[in-house]
Structure 1
Amino acid sequence: MSQYAYLAQWKEEINRGPGAVYLTIADALALSIRKGDLREGDRLPPQRTIAEYLGANLTTVTRAFAEARRRGLIDATVGRGTFVRVGAGESHWRHTGPAVVDLTMNLPPIPQDPPLQRIIQSDIAAILKQQDLNTLMSYRVTGGTLEERQLGAKWIAPVIGHRRTDEILVAPGAQSALAAIVSTHTQPGDVIVTDRIAYPGIRTIAAQLDLILVGVDSDKDGMMPGQLDQICAEHHPRLLYCIPTIHNPTTATMPLQRRMDILKIAQHHHLHIIEDDPYSLLMDSPLPALASLDHGRVSYVATLAKTLSPGLRTAYIALPSADMTRRVAAAIRAIALTNAGLLSALTERWMQTEQAHTILHAIRKELRVRQAIARKVLGEEHCMNPDGPHVWLKLPDWWGSADFVAYARRRGLALVPSTVFTISGEPPQRARIALGSAPDVASLEESLHGVLSVLQHKRSPGFADIV
């Protein structure tokens, strides 16, 4: 226990303190921070270890940690442990506001109006009353029922236009949809061309299927057509994977002319395109999807995970033909079989009653507020889209991406480094901040101020060995 010498002082405080033990522990923790025995970013021992050393009940230590979090002294994240918070020794952190949150997951914020929890409870109760439980809890039709596919076609119509139902599939999430489409078009050793800074999910699929990824550089308008043309001539890829609207992570959105240029190159090289479109419906007036501009060349995937909730486990796929629909449906069956019955029933109900659009409008509004807060706190020099769920943070010269994120993590802030997104070459000096996972705008703003303080910190030369 020598590495936890400050615990001896905590024990003394408990022995001579007449007050509640949990408050004494929280006070002792605060004192250790003020004295410098504990520094910002230090990991605390497990609660059970502390309880054993202090001779206290585990519940008492848990209560003490809850009090310390309430005071803004510590932050706990499942799987990482409990850390002393950035600025815990400064008075401005000592308040009852929410703790710094994990900023890694690109989730839509849970709206307060309409009240999502109450809606889910009410709608699930109605579904259980109206539908047969055996059917709800059994296996579903792979690719969705006719009604589900019709509703899916209507949901994505503002972006891709009208589609026949036999060209639409419902999948249990975008990742399984993408994997199914890729597996349908490729064999081991084939090349997929994508952005050099790309969504990590395509890397996972390529690794699993033994495919080669080749990256194309981007500018403010997205993938650069000239370089794409050169790479296609050199590598003869089977597929092009791209996110044309609010790219993850760069936030770039291809203007119409860039979309036409990309399609022209794909046509010249007989290249099939997978268009991953998680974010278009977050915009009031989205640009036409590639799938609407070249019906026969593009397989289109839109997930509800980014526009409503990942908890629905639903993505809609639009394919060039009924034959391709059958082939991709067979791949989905092999990978994930089918969607979950109860979640499918909830999604279908929301689509039928227009509740999905009500929730979508609330999420759009909330994300715009959060983007405005991010711009106010962090400044204008970072890549942002006012309708998007994330920020592509530009780092100062003294920060590499991995070091910056490691340093932020030591201070209780979880971000994603550019190394996670980099297909080839040097990772840019960037990190991604997800704005949707914070429970409310107050905790988001507090977290972003924490990011700003780390951003402005000039690391010492000795920090290079922190990973």
Structure 2
Amino acid sequence: MWRPHLNEASPMKYLGIVDALEADIRSGRVARGERVPSQRAIAEALDVDLTTVTRAFNEARRRGLIQAHAGRGTFISETMDGGEAPEQPPPVLDLSMNIPPQPSSTDFRKIFPQGVTGVLGSPRGLMTLHYQESNGIEADRKAAASWLARRIEPVTPERIIVTGGAQCALFAICELLLSSGDVVAAGAMTYPGIKAVAAQKGLVLEPLAMDEYGIIPDAFEKACRDKKPKALYVVPTIDNPTTATLPEERRRALVALAREYGVVIFEDDPYAPLRPVRLPAMVELADDITWHIATLSKCVTPALRIAYVIAPNAGKARRLAAVLRATILMAPPLMSALASRWIVEGALDEVTNAIAEENVVRQKLAADILAGCRFSADPHGHHLWLFLPEHWRASDFADHADRAGVSIVPASTFAITAHPVEAVRVSIGVAPDRGALEDGLTQLASLISEPSLGTKAVV
């Protein structure tokens, strides 16, 4: 591996790094195909800013000296011919998809086949290859109840519906309860899934003002008076995208207002299992008006495609199952059985805890690299909400980040207001390893300090 040093004759530090690297390549002191140290390691070795090293990497890439491979790192180019190479766009590191990391202690390549083999080898294992009830078989609903009961009381299997993911659950609930033109109140920045459902069903989304703690109850009360919403959609824990977690008193205030004005609550709570501090779920505070959605996609893996819905009562659970029967028919039986097996064996909690621990490490890494930037984050979550300085528009920043090789999501994707805050969501779980995440965050830190590169339309 190359030992970083500076060419003192170079006019600028970042050029000194590139010139030294190029000289070592041409002299044979470093071989083609060898891995280059991470940007952070080079910055520490040379006592320079990360942004200086980022500029050096960009220049080295332009010269054709190095090649980046997403998830593996950066390597000395195998094809450098001594001339200046044409500038090539770097491979894109996806920090846009909000999925949990895969901790080194959890090898899905092993536990998935082992789990499936265990399910199929059980006495009634082959039944998981058959059609099943649309609300889920009793064994899966009992396993779900035992898992949910660790943070929500009381939960009975009769009120639980097993679905093929949170998105289809959300659509089915809206299909059951709402009609075209109905108003749904939600945070001004909200999960794009509810925006997609609203567009499909002709629902009207009413934006609610938010602060660092989430939806402001006074804003909800005003909307109830003026707009008369039929439902309130809320992500109470580690909100997507703002990362806010509603305090208990605010949850109680929203529940009281919903009850006063006859509003049903859609509680989408995918991140609660990641937080060590338990807060009462809104379904606990108002189980008669709340539909609670708990997916495994954010605390285990989206590959399971399993989510559990807690309905207000058994009768409404059966009504929701009828809607599912007409749409997805049933959740994937094999994956439902696998999730139940992991719940009973304790493997599901082990994976969730490992993900939360990995998130803590990655969030600390992000806080270090983005020091000086303004952002919000939860230490156990796998995304952060990065506020941009005045000279950047979120759409421009996301566009230029993509050109630099990092994919992120601008605020407009989440906004249900005309003029959203200038911010972007950065997902830290999707990066294949900490090294790739470090490179991506360093690119963002470098870009955010530059003048806006937004272009004006040609007239």
> Which residue does the alignment assign to 1:459?
452
Whole-angstrom distance in 2 between the partners of 1:270 and 1:373 = 45
> Which residue does the alignment assign to 1:316?
308
- 2:290 equivalent to 1:298: yes
> Which residue does the alignment assign to 2:381?
388
- Is this contact kept in 2: 1:100–1:446, CA < 8 A? no
Residue 403 of structure 1: SS of its match in structure 2?
Answer: helix
Does 436-445 or 121-130 show the bigger shift? 121-130
Whole-angstrom distance in 2 between the partners of 1:65 and 1:268 = 56
Show the 5 A alignment for 1:332-343: 332-343=324-335
User: Deviation at 1:70?
Assistant: 4.9
Whole-angstrom distance in 2 between the partners of 1:65 and 1:436 = 18
User: Deviation at 1:69?
Assistant: 7.7
Pick one of 367, 372, 394 that aligns with 1:375.
Answer: 367
- 2:413 equivalent to 1:408: no
Residue 324 of structure 1: SS of its match in structure 2?
Answer: helix
Give the counterpart letter for 2:279 in structure 1. L
Whole-angstrom distance in 2 between the partners of 1:242 and 1:260 = 13
User: Deviation at 1:387?
Assistant: 1.2
> Which residue does the alignment assign to 1:47?
none
> Which residue does the alignment assign to 2:130?
138
Pick one of 54, 71, 74 that aligns with 2:75.
Answer: 71
- Is this contact kept in 1: 2:382–2:428, CA < 8 A? yes
User: Deviation at 1:140?
Assistant: 2.3
Question: Normalized per residue, which structure has more helix?
Answer: 1
Whole-angstrom distance in 1 between the partners of 2:161 and 2:457 = 48
Whole-angstrom distance in 2 between the partners of 1:35 and 1:416 = 25
Pick one of 417, 438, 441 that aligns with 1:448.
Answer: 441
TM-score under structure 2 normalisation?
Answer: 0.80
Pair 1:464–1:103, CA change in 2 (3 A) = farther
Give the counterpart letter for 1:445 in structure 2. E
> Which residue does the alignment assign to 1:49?
none
Show the 5 A alignment for 1:107-146: 107-130=99-122, 135-146=127-138
Residue 169 of structure 2: SS of its match in structure 1?
Answer: helix
- Is this contact kept in 2: 1:140–1:340, CA < 8 A? no
Pair 1:354–1:37, CA change in 2 (3 A) = closer
Whole-angstrom distance in 2 between the partners of 1:174 and 1:366 = 23
User: Deviation at 1:351?
Assistant: 1.2
Give the counterpart letter for 2:255 in structure 1. L
Does 371-380 or 284-293 show the bigger shift? 371-380
> Which residue does the alignment assign to 2:239?
247
- 2:76 equivalent to 1:84: no
- 2:336 equivalent to 1:344: yes
Whole-angstrom distance in 2 between the partners of 1:129 and 1:363 = 28
Whole-angstrom distance in 1 between the partners of 2:61 and 2:424 = 33
- State the Cα deviation string for residues 345-400 of structure 1 (Å, max 9, x = none): 21121112111111111111111111111111112621111111100001111111
Whole-angstrom distance in 1 between the partners of 2:177 and 2:262 = 13
> Runs of at least 4 residues of structure 1 off by over 3 A?
32-38, 63-66, 131-134
Residue 206 of structure 2: SS of its match in structure 1?
Answer: strand
User: Deviation at 1:134?
Assistant: 5.1
Give the counterpart letter for 1:438 in structure 2. A
- Is this contact kept in 2: 1:83–1:411, CA < 8 A? no
Pair 1:145–1:301, CA change in 2 (3 A) = same
Whole-angstrom distance in 2 between the partners of 1:399 and 1:255 = 32
- 2:428 equivalent to 1:432: no
- Is this contact kept in 2: 1:83–1:412, CA < 8 A? no
Residue 448 of structure 1: SS of its match in structure 2?
Answer: helix
Does 106-115 or 212-221 show the bigger shift? 106-115
Whole-angstrom distance in 2 between the partners of 1:464 and 1:329 = 52
User: Deviation at 1:334?
Assistant: 1.8
Pair 1:256–1:442, CA change in 2 (3 A) = same
Whole-angstrom distance in 2 between the partners of 1:37 and 1:383 = 37
User: Deviation at 1:445?
Assistant: 1.3
Pair 1:35–1:339, CA change in 2 (3 A) = closer
- State the Cα deviation string for residues 388-440 of structure 1 (Å, max 9, x = none): 11000011111111111011111111000000000012011100000111111
Pair 1:65–1:255, CA change in 2 (3 A) = closer
User: Deviation at 1:214?
Assistant: 0.7
> Which residue does the alignment assign to 1:77?
none
Whole-angstrom distance in 1 between the partners of 2:333 and 2:76 = 42
- State the Cα deviation string for residues 162-194 of structure 1 (Å, max 9, x = none): 212111111100001111111111111111111
> Which residue does the alignment assign to 1:397?
390
Give the counterpart letter for 2:200 in structure 1. Q
Whole-angstrom distance in 1 between the partners of 2:448 and 2:59 = 22
Give the counterpart letter for 1:342 in structure 2. L
User: Deviation at 1:37?
Assistant: 8.5
> Which residue does the alignment assign to 2:16?
none
User: Deviation at 1:217?
Assistant: 0.7
User: Deviation at 1:129?
Assistant: 2.7
- 2:418 equivalent to 1:418: no
Whole-angstrom distance in 2 between the partners of 1:453 and 1:70 = 18
Q: Which runs of 5+ in 1 are unaligned?
A: 1-22, 25-31, 41-62, 75-81, 86-98
Show the 5 A alignment for 1:170-209: 170-209=162-201
User: Deviation at 1:342?
Assistant: 2.0
Whole-angstrom distance in 2 between the partners of 1:422 and 1:65 = 33
Whole-angstrom distance in 1 between the partners of 2:388 and 2:77 = 27
User: Deviation at 1:465?
Assistant: 4.7
Matched residue count: 394
Give the counterpart letter for 1:324 in structure 2. K
Q: Percent identity?
A: 33
Whole-angstrom distance in 1 between the partners of 2:60 and 2:260 = 66
> Which residue does the alignment assign to 1:90?
none
User: Deviation at 1:159?
Assistant: 2.6
Q: Which runs of 5+ in 2 are unaligned?
A: 1-31, 34-57, 79-86
Does 332-341 or 209-218 show the bigger shift? 332-341
Residue 382 of structure 1: SS of its match in structure 2?
Answer: strand
